[in-house]
């Protein structure tokens, strides 16, 4: 009787990958087979010890235990390893034809309140006043009338409103705007501030063990969409912010950095409804047409209860 190939150090990946041979979903089979081959190659490359394997299991266990409805430690781990940005970049290739995307981040956890163009989203009266403006266009420069512009950011202390319930007003520094007939939007806010990602769990211990800091440079989040066009999730980064060259989650792209100059003009300040002097941030956004979107790989069929969204809520 001839036995099938049995497990050995030399053939470990082949044996395990072969166990997925009858997987009905071809994409799931592809993902698992590739994962096994890369994982086994890694273990052989570093010659992982049993003690190190145990530490890794404990680390992953604590990462899961740290996750809850408002915090997803596994996504934080994905962020600091650069995996989140890599997945985002692969799935939103623009080839220079539209605004580049970046990570969603863990704090888009509530529906942004609807605002009128020109409104002030800074409800806590803290920070350096800033006029934010831009135009949403298509790839040929066509204005996208009525485009939706969803924005959110930290306050002067480096916290999002959902991190400080009862301290910040609900909906502070968030807004959902509708661009005008020329695709233009503008609103009053404050200059964003750099801040640390949560570092009191396993991911923070990993950063400390590798002498990495937990900070992100100052930025303002955007999700912009228009009918018939591919939406973009992105940031605009403040040009003089610290940590632009060492973002803890690798989210900075050069095309997304903007200067935020000071304007000392009492008449312009009065017209904008801001104190003088104030800062300005201009961020024009270009969307690809929907038919320009690169077809994504067919998702593997997995149990939906095994998948968590960025906020940690089961989806």
**pTM (two decimals):** 0.87
Q: How many angstroms separate the CA atoms of 310 and 68, rounded? A: 11
Enumerate the domain spans of the chain.
1-48, 83-292
- DSSP alpha helices (H): ranges in 5-149? 12-18, 26-46, 50-66, 73-80, 83-91
Each residue's pLDDT tens digit, 288-315: 999 885 655 556 665 543 333 333 322 2
Each residue's pLDDT tens digit, 211-236: 999 999 999 999 999 999 999 999 99
Q: Does domain 83-292 match CATH 2.60.130.10?
A: yes
Mean pLDDT of 239-254: 97
Average per-residue pLDDT for the chain: 91
| Burial of 155 (C-beta count, 10 Å sphere; 0-12/13-18/19+) | buried
């Amino acid at each position: 009787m001839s036995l099938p190939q049995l497990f050995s150090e030399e053939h470990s990946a082949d044996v395990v990958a072969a166990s997925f041979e009858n997987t009905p979903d071809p994409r799931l089979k592809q993902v698992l087979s590739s994962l096994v081959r890369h994982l086994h190659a890694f273990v052989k490359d570093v010659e992982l010890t049993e003690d190190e394997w145990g530490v890794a299991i404990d680390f992953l266990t604590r990462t899961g235990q740290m996750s809850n409805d408002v915090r997803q430690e596994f996504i934080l781990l994905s962020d600091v390893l650069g995996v989140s940005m890599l997945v985002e970049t692969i799935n939103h290739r623009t080839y220079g034809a539209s605004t580049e995307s970046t990570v969603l981040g863990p704090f888009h956890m509530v529906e942004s309140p609807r605002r009128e163009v020109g409104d002030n989203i800074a409800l806590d009266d803290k920070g350096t006043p800033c006029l934010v403006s831009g135009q949403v266009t298509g790839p040929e420069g066509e204005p996208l009338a009525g485009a939706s512009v969803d924005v959110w950011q930290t306050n002067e202390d480096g916290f999002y409103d959902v991190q400080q319930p009862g301290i910040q007003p609900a909906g502070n520094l968030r807004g959902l705007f509708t661009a005008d007939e020329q695709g233009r939007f503008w609103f009053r806010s404050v200059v964003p501030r750099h801040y640390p990602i949560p570092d009191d769990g396993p991911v923070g211990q990993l950063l400390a063990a590798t002498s990495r800091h937990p900070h992100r440079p100052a930025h303002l989040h955007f999700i912009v969409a228009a009918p018939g066009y591919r939406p973009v999730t992105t940031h605009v980064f403040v040009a003089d912010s610290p940590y632009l060259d060492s973002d803890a989650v690798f989210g900075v792209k050069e095309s997304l950095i903007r200067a935020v100059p000071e304007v000392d003009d009492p008449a312009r300040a009065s017209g904008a409804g801001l104190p003088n002097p104030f800062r300005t941030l201009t961020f024009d956004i270009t969307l690809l047409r929907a038919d320009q979107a690169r077809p994504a790989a067919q998702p593997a069929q997995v149990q939906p209860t095994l998948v968590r969204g960025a906020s940690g809520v089961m989806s």
